[in-house]
Amino acid sequence: MISYSLLPSLTNTLDAIFRPCYSLPFRKNRQFVGRVTILEALEKKFFTEQSETVALVGLGGIGKTQVALQFAYSVKASKHEYSIFWVAALSEASFEKAYAELAHKLGVKKSKEDEQIKDLVHDHLCSERAGKWLLIVDNADDMEVLIGSNGKHGIYRYLPKSESGRVVFTTRSREVAVAVAGSDIIDLQEMTQEEAAAFVEISLTRKELLQDEATTVELLQELTYLPLAIAQAAAYLNQNQISVRKYLALLRGTEQSKVSLLSRGFHDRTRYEGSQNAVATTWLVSFAQIQRSDKAAASILGFVSCIEPKAIPRSILPEVESEEEMEHAIGTLRGYAFMAQRGDEMFDMHSLVHIATWLWLESEGLIEQTTIDAIRHIEKTFPPRDRTRRENWRGYVPHGLRILNRIRKRTLADEDYSRLASEHELASAYLDDRRIKEAITIFDHVVAVQKRTLVKEDHDRLTSEHELARAYLDDRRIKEAIEIFEHVVAVQKRTLVDEDHDRLASEHELASAYLKDGRIKEAIEIFEHVVAIRKRTLVDEDHSRLASEHELARAYLDSEMVEEAIQLLEHVVAVEEDLFEKDDPDRLVSLDLLMDAYTRLESGSGHD
């Protein structure tokens, strides 16, 4: 029978054993807003589904630490039986420091000299006397730190496991998340527009800056609703007392201005001392981890930093040894939330990560080689400009332009073959996409360089001159186009046989230029020559043959040779009827021209 005189002593003993203990590195964040859905998901995972471990995974700067901190204080307020502990897993040193502080809080001490504090804390938390607890393992981004390597144990060995315990991992790495939590993973995305607006409002000292709501929304969109970027912007606005519109203008200014703005650090009481607070540098550690552990992913990361960050075709990515290695590399970049997939064959890189990657390459002295490799890869993979691959090369155009804009400022010389070849391909794509002025600007440069460095008969020079003349023709600079085409055709007549495809293409274009210039007889003479050869050498359905026959028919009509035009056009329309869809533009143009020819014949135009 228990003596009642012993009850006070027993109660004190139980209180000593189960009194909750709190070890948190930061005070509650009074500027925390939103994230209700994520906090509810954590609550449900731990206290409804009874999960013991959950990984909160997301891009660096997305707010994982702040969500974990908010959750910790929420548990502290609502579940008084829970102790709450926090360890930083940035490195082995930060983990050991956190465990030493935790041991002091828990009253865990060595009884022997050879005992390790990490083991003692682990054993205590695994025991019943620890009671219920919540442990946050923050910034568990590095698999080597977590799991270990080369026979050395990682910190995971010292993390407690208990039915009474709950563990939250925050990590940028999906590989880490899967390793520690299996399927119990919660993805943290950017803030919603409403959350971002509330966050910037609570962060600013001068609330009147937000009166221009439209500009504020634009700024938040430019910052991709990333909490760290918003915090950095608010700190800059508070310190420099400029308007939101002015900050937005700086952000949208030159690349140098944008990098400078996003590289500025700021004091943040809710982040670790010594951590990278600036948006442009917060991912440097992750880049280094990728470079160390996944060379293929690092190669793709470097290449993508040279091109546009949006609408990246899978086919444009650098080749790796196998399809599996490509999938793994893409998975690594997606795992860090650096790239997102849309559909099966298209990717986007986070725009702020795109800037940070370039900054990282610069700091590593890799800019020049990465850019050279990228330009050579683009030159090799740029799709042909035929109608069957029109969408492919159209998708490559902005990426080619991005690289060319970079190399004009640095790296490859004007005369570099790879640079000229890529500029030629890009300008041709512009021309076929009816971006004529842009095409002419690039072709003018390419031809000027090739005239200085290549002989008249050089194939590359002739090809560029041909394309420049084609661009002039589309820009209605007919006399200039004719002058170049006449030169090209003259050289090709000396060096190429009648049936050569390039020669026939130039003769076709010269005839088209003559036709636009009203030199109809000269146009007909060349077109008849081209059509005769293409009839001999090409099938009826060949696109270039149909184009020449169509243009010859048009020349006949301009010369009032209506019956000859009808004969040709009936053949062209019959072939295109089987070859093209009903609404195909080329087919419709041929039909219209044939109808026009019939009308002229009925009205008596043309000779008998």
Residues 173 and 209 both lie in one domain: no
Over 60: is that where the pLDDT of 605 sits? no
511 within a domain of the structure (yes/no): no
Environment class of residue 551 by beta-carbon count within 10 Å: exposed (0-12), middle (13-18) or buried (19+)?
Answer: buried
**Residue carrying structure tokens 């135009």:** 605
Confidence class for position 180, pLDDT limits 50, 70, 90: very high
Residues 101 and 142 both lie in one domain: yes
User: Pairing state of beta strands 22-23 and 82-88?
Assistant: parallel
Q: How many domains does the chain have?
A: 3
Instruction: Answer whether 240's CB lies under 8 Å from 253's CB.
Output: no
Answer left, alpha or beta for residue 291, where phi above 0 means left and psi between -120 and 50 means alpha: alpha
For the segment 480-502, the average pLDDT, to the nearest whole number, is: 94
Confidence class for position 514, pLDDT limits 50, 70, 90: very high
End-of-domain residue from the set 262, 285, 312 = 262
End-of-domain residue from the set 212, 232, 262 = 262
Residues 164 and 200 both lie in one domain: no
**Residue carrying structure tokens 């190669």:** 299
Instruction: Answer whether 264's CB lies under 8 Å from 278's CB.
Output: yes
135 within a domain of the structure (yes/no): yes
Residues 53 and 92 both lie in one domain: yes
**Span 306-323, pLDDT tens digits:** 888 888 999 899 988 899
Which pLDDT belongs to residue 225? 93
Confidence class for position 129, pLDDT limits 50, 70, 90: confident
Confidence class for position 266, pLDDT limits 50, 70, 90: confident
Q: What is the DSSP letter of 30?
A: T
Residues 69 and 155 both lie in one domain: yes
Q: Which domain holds residue 226?
A: 193-262
Q: What is the CATH number of the domain that holds 106?
A: 3.40.50.300
Over 70: is that where the pLDDT of 420 sits? yes
51 within a domain of the structure (yes/no): yes
The Cα–Cα gap between 502 and 512 comes to 15
Which pLDDT belongs to residue 405? 66
Residues 198 and 102 both lie in one domain: no
232 within a domain of the structure (yes/no): yes
Which pLDDT belongs to residue 386? 59
Residues 110 and 230 both lie in one domain: no
Closest CA to 283 of 221, 337, 345: 337
Closest CA to 374 of 293, 416, 322, 316: 316
Residues 85 and 183 both lie in one domain: yes
Which pLDDT belongs to residue 385? 61
**Span 349-386, pLDDT tens digits:** 988 888 889 888 888 999 888 988 888 888 788 776 65
Residues 89 and 212 both lie in one domain: no
301 within a domain of the structure (yes/no): no
587 within a domain of the structure (yes/no): yes
CA atoms 452, 457, 463, 469: torsion sign? positive
Which pLDDT belongs to residue 1? 44
The Cα–Cα gap between 451 and 443 comes to 12
Residues 252 and 203 both lie in one domain: yes
Full DSSP string of 140-171? ---HHHHHEETTEE-GGGGS---TTEEEEEEE
Residues 73 and 146 both lie in one domain: yes
Number of Cβ within 10 Å of residue 522's Cβ equals 17
281 within a domain of the structure (yes/no): no
Over 90: is that where the pLDDT of 278 sits? no
Please, what is the average pLDDT of the chain? 87
Give SS3 for 133. Answer: strand
End-of-domain residue from the set 216, 234, 262 = 262
214 within a domain of the structure (yes/no): yes
Confidence class for position 11, pLDDT limits 50, 70, 90: very low
CA triple 316-318-384, angle to 5 deg: 40
Instruction: Answer whether 82's CB lies under 8 Å from 76's CB.
Output: yes
Residues 150 and 247 both lie in one domain: no
CA triple 499-503-504, angle to 5 deg: 65
**Span 530-568, pLDDT tens digits:** 999 999 999 988 999 999 999 999 999 988 998 898 999
Over 80: is that where the pLDDT of 416 sits? no
Q: What is the pTM of this model?
A: 0.69
